[in-house]
Structures are given as C-alpha cells and as structure tokens.
Amino acid sequence: MKQYDVAVIGGGPAGYLAAERASEAGLCTLLVEKREVGGVCLNEGCIPTKTLLYSGKLYEYASGEGKTFGVTCKDAQLHHEEVVKRKETVIKTLVGGVSAALKRKKADVFYADASIRKETQGFVISCESNEFLAKTVILATGSEPVIPGIPGVSEGILDGSVLTSREILDLKEIPKELVIVGAGVIGIEMAAYFNIAGSRVTVVEMLEQAGGPIDKDAAEVLQKELEKKGIRFHMKSRVCDVSNNTALVGQDGKQIKLPYDKLLMCVGRKAVTDVPGLTELGVYTERGAIVTDERCQTNIPGLYAAGDVNGKYMLAHVAYREAEVAVNNIIGIADWMDYSAIPGVIYTQPEVSFAGLTEQQARDTGMDIQIKKVTINMSGRHIAEHGMSEGFCKLVIDRKKQIIVGASLVSAYASEIIYAVTLMIQNKIPLESIRRSVFPHPTVCEIIREAVFS
C-alpha cells in the first residue's frame, strides 16, 4: 500500500490548491477526484458563468448601449452556441493548467470515487481496487445544487424541463420563457445572461430582497437595474408545484401560473459529504456540512475539511485560503481563518461587491456605527465610461475605532475594487491612514476615498 503524508479528496479549488501547497511543502501528496480537476468553479460555476456574462456584456454594447458612446454596430447578434463553445475552450485551458500544475508539483492524481476508513497506521483511502495509506486527509468534496421537494420538480429534471445551474450552462438553444427559482447569486447571474441572450426571464424569490445576504441598498439598486433591462421579479413568492411546463406560484395569498420552456432551480447549494466511510469515522456534521474549527480541523485528529464541504462560505476564494490553512496546520505552521472580511461579488451590469458586515449585520452586533455613502456619479471615470447611474459606495464605520467594518459597492469594476476595502477591513486600517493615501486618478476606486472623506 503506497503511503502518503496527505491525501486530498476532491479536486476543486480547495482540493487542488491543498494538493499543490502540500507538494510544494515537500509532503508526499495524493489527490483523488471522481470527475475532472477544477471542481464546480472551473467546470460549471465561477468561470463558465463569467465567460457567458462577458459575451452578454459585449452584445449589450454592440446591440444598443454603445449608441450612448457614439458606437453603433449593424446587425449585432449573439450566437449562443458559439458562446457555449468558447466557454468549453476556456474550461479546457484552465483545467489543463491545474492538471499541469499538479504534475509539475509532483502530486499524485487518481481519478476515482474514494472511500475512507481509519486504521491504526492512519487513514486508508480506497479507490476502486487500489488502497492508499495517508497520515492526514483533507476533505474537499465541495457542494451540489439543492433540489427542493416541490411537486413535479423530480419529473421535470428527468424530462429536461427543470434544470440546475449545472445543466443550463450546456443548453444549445436559448429558452423563450425562462423561470428562475431563487434570486440568490446564481439566480441573478443566470437571469442577467439569459435575459441579454433573448429569454423572457421571470425570477421567483421567497424573500423580500434579491442577491442573497447583501446590503439592502445594494439589493434595491440591483433589482431595479435588472428590471430596467426587462427581467421580471416575483418577490415574497414561492413555487408550490410544477407540471406541464407551468409553475404554480404562491404570492400574497394568491396563486399565479407562470408558463416556461425551462425552469431553473437556484435555491442554494448543499455540502457533499457522501464519501463512503465518513459517517463511520464519527465526524461531526451540522446542517449537512462538516464541522470545522478556524484551523479547518474536524473533530477527528488528522482529518481536515476545506471549501464548500464545511458549509461556511460557499465561495472558491474562501476555499483557497482554507486549503492553505489546512496544509499549514498539517506541516506545523500555526495558521487560522479570519472570516471578518470575506469579499463577494455579483457579476451583473453594474457589478455588486461587498466585504465585511452589512449595515444591518453591524447594527445587530450592537456596534455604534456611522454610514458613509456616496453616489458613484462622484467618479469621473465612471461617468466617462458608463454615464450617470444609480450605483454607490457604502461604508459601514465603527464610530469609536474609526475603522471600516463593512463595504458595499454597486458600480463598474466593483469586483476589482473590493479587494482594497477587504484589506482595509481585515487589517483595521484607520480612516486617517486611508485619507493620507494616494488613489490613482481617474479610477472608479477613488470612490472609496470620496466615501471616507464624506
């Protein structure tokens, strides 16, 4: 039986980065993956959706928005099948890059379903007829879409009329009527692309606001901007039945019928913990996810869990950091997660980004806060490139300490700017220091300076 210092189960962002870091540190490393390395992020999540959304953005300009900037284009068309082909090429390039990096760093990669058991010498990882012995294990099995028990959904999945975020990315044709259940990050990004691509999009959301747990002000602007583009929202509504390509929706005590060609389920994701043998190890779980401490350790000595499987933040960038924390603890370097300033982005037009606490979350802690909010129209570059718009930069300030504890941005480049605020929040940089730093001009990033000075 080949022996390893560390075996990583799952080859998504948490798994492949853990395997790379462990190998770089000189540990004999095994990565077991049942499908393709890259996980949801590269194969059916972050990267494919951004590829589609970028094509959508170009088409939006070419087909009309460009007029504002003195640019028109005759007969602009979006060829969805070409967009999907390009997406495949992008995935192939990136997955190839990950495989090559693992090889270069001399991590062994085994493509199979893994099961796990504990023996006195360590963990035994079984893959088909092969068995490997590992001193430590990093569980990085990720997450999968939640399929709610709404009557008719299982039948719809079988006949192809009900899709999850996995299948919709491979559609060859744009559905005429697309009903999306769930206005979280996935639902919103899918709505944005398919609306541009020609679907009539209706979003059904049971909560009051779109965009998941983002700041209320950001959610309002986001929904308004998407409505202006033609997306219809049914808020505080629930789908209670789907049959014959019609969704029955309960709204304000009434029932409405929404016909569809495709119905997309985006009602959240759940941790994948069905590795045979895991339950027998006695690992603690909570709401279906593996319980870990700030060092990404489970209750079983030597067993770590990183990424979506621990259910904390289902974000690839959090998974990367958790993977590093797990590996560092395995090699004896004290390291832990700091979840105080996790950035998030919704890749719509305009983009929405956030880090740290929302205004409401800060108020709920009882902190004495001050809100500094400025319109994005204070940014010369934003007006030059996008015109006057509804966006903003909102900072939540700890009044006593004079530091930023949360930020929300609705603007162009919001995804790229948020990292600056993430650093400010995480390192508790005093407002006074930010005031003294020089921001490049003209950039949209200057809006942070404007907000700090407001």
Active site residues per annotation:
441
List the beta strands (DSSP E) in 172-315.
177-181, 200-204, 232-234, 237-243, 246-251, 254-259, 262-265, 269-271, 285-286, 289-290, 303-305
Nearest distance from C-beta of residue 208 to ligand NAI, angstroms: 9
* Nearest-angstrom CA–CA distance, 201 and 198: 9
Closest to ligand NAI by CB, 314 vs 397, is: 314
Closest to ligand NAI by CB, 122 vs 307, is: 307
Nearest distance from C-beta of residue 212 to ligand NAI, angstroms: 4
Nearest distance from C-beta of residue 204 to ligand NAI, angstroms: 5
What residues form the annotated binding site? 50, 141-143, 182-189, 205, 268, 308, 314-317
Residue (of 4, 34, 15, 28) closest to 324 by Cα position: 15
Q: Give the other-Cβ count within 10 Å of 127's Cβ.
A: 19
Closest to ligand NAI by CB, 162 vs 346, is: 346
Tell me how far CA of residue 134 lies from CA of 6, 234, 281, 286, 329, in angstroms: 5, 51, 15, 26, 16
Nearest distance from C-beta of residue 345 to ligand NAI, angstroms: 5
What residues form the annotated binding site for NAD(+)? 182-189, 205, 268
Nearest distance from C-beta of residue 268 to ligand NAI, angstroms: 4
State whether residue 7 is helix, strand or coil: strand
The binding site for ligand NAI (CB under 6 A) comprises 45, 148, 181-187, 189, 204-207, 212, 238-239, 266-269, 314-315, 344-347
Chain-centre distance of CA 428, in angstroms? 25
The structure tokens listed for 72 are 């028109």
Look at the block and give the residue holding tokens 């049959």: 243
Q: Which residue is at the shortest CB distance from ligand NAI? A: 184
Nearest distance from C-beta of residue 316 to ligand NAI, angstroms: 8
Chain-centre distance of CA 452, in angstroms? 28
403 beta partners: 398, 430
What are the contacts of 335-342 at 24+ separation with CB within 8 A? Answer: 335/295, 336/294, 336/295, 337/294, 337/295, 337/296, 338/426, 339/312, 339/313, 340/425, 340/426, 341/421, 341/422, 341/423, 341/425, 341/426, 342/313, 342/315, 342/317, 342/318, 342/422
